[in-house]
Amino acid sequence: MTSLLESLRQHTTVVADTGDFEAMRAFKPTDATTNPSLILNAVQQPAYQHLLVETIKQNPKANAAELNDALLVAFGKAILDIVPGRVSTEIDARLSFDTQASIERARQIIQLYEQAGIDRQRVLIKLASTWEGIQAAKQLQSEGIQCNLTLLFCLAQAVACAQSKVTLISPFVGRIYDWYKKEAGAAWDEAANAGVNDPGVQSVRQIYNYFKTYDLKTEIMGASFRNAGQILALAGCDLLTISPALLNELSTQSGTVTAHLDAQTAKSQAPEWQASNEVAFRTDLNANAMATEKLAEGIRLFIRDAVALDKVIAQAKEQA
């Protein structure tokens, strides 16, 4: 009997949302994504501490930022030894509102990958979907550096990314769900807001329908899932990045997955064309309380974990 995971692969490219190499080997995703939180968690596990030790030894004169980038690339290189496709490596969230610094940091990361023998086509640079992050991605894409725009919560962000010709966007399903559930409080009806009715699922569906209607080439990768129902409701999306726990759940259940998203259905619904410029972006984002709050919160959390990772690296350097 076919597992739900194998059936899902018939409709969608499966990506592993983890820094755990063994999980990648077990579930055989096409691509893998990382972020500061995942790397912080991984580097504190005994199985991965050798990467930190080796990075420090190989870069004895590097400053904190350089060591951070070198460590991210060390993880990325090891991941690319496992997955056949691409790895996403995230720019320091502290640069989320600094276009030029983000561009320079991305160039440095790509240079490190290329020095390690990795083709830049196998790397996606992750940036927060702020206006500044999107403008950085626009420049990087013109240089042949592919980008993955993360912390994306609404159509305004998605359209701005597509207009900038970014390779891929990562709309966050679970965090949208979290916001609406918290906002509703005791009035929240889980059953009525599950599956295709989940607010996070509906947000990705809106983006998908818009992109397919207007033949926008930017890939859509649903991310940040809270349950398997959200994943199955987005079968047919270009890509879905899934945690090891949910990959395991899908792999141990048998069944057939039906695609809920497809380009022809999207085009038949023909959503209205949206203007995209800085004023429209900031106006629409500001009008969306959920997107505004979750974007700010996500950046704060990634900064928190980036600072914590700096401390882990500094402590390891002192002990080296």
The answer to whether the beta carbons of residues 201 and 262 sit under 8 Å apart is no
Catalytic position from the list 57, 61, 77, 126:
126
- Token couple for 87: 């790895």
Closest listed residue to residue 74, CA positions, set 48, 95, 36, 94: 48
The answer to whether the beta carbons of residues 237 and 220 sit under 8 Å apart is yes
Round to whole Å and give the CA distance between 242 and 228: 9
Round to whole Å and give the CA distance between 82 and 80: 5
The answer to whether the beta carbons of residues 202 and 230 sit under 8 Å apart is no
- Token couple for 7: 């059936």
The answer to whether the beta carbons of residues 260 and 234 sit under 8 Å apart is yes
As a whole number of angstroms, the longest Cα–Cα distance in the chain is 62
* Number of other CB atoms surrounding residue 190 within 10 Å: 9
The answer to whether the beta carbons of residues 36 and 96 sit under 8 Å apart is no
What's the sign of the alpha-carbon dihedral 45, 36, 167, 213?
A: positive
Whole-number Cα distances in Å, 18 to 85, 122, 309, 310, 313: 15, 17, 16, 20, 20
Closest listed residue to residue 18, CA positions, set 191, 223, 287, 220: 223
Q: Tell me whether residue 317 is one of the annotated catalytic residues.
A: no
- Token couple for 181: 């559930």
Q: Which residues are catalytic?
A: 126
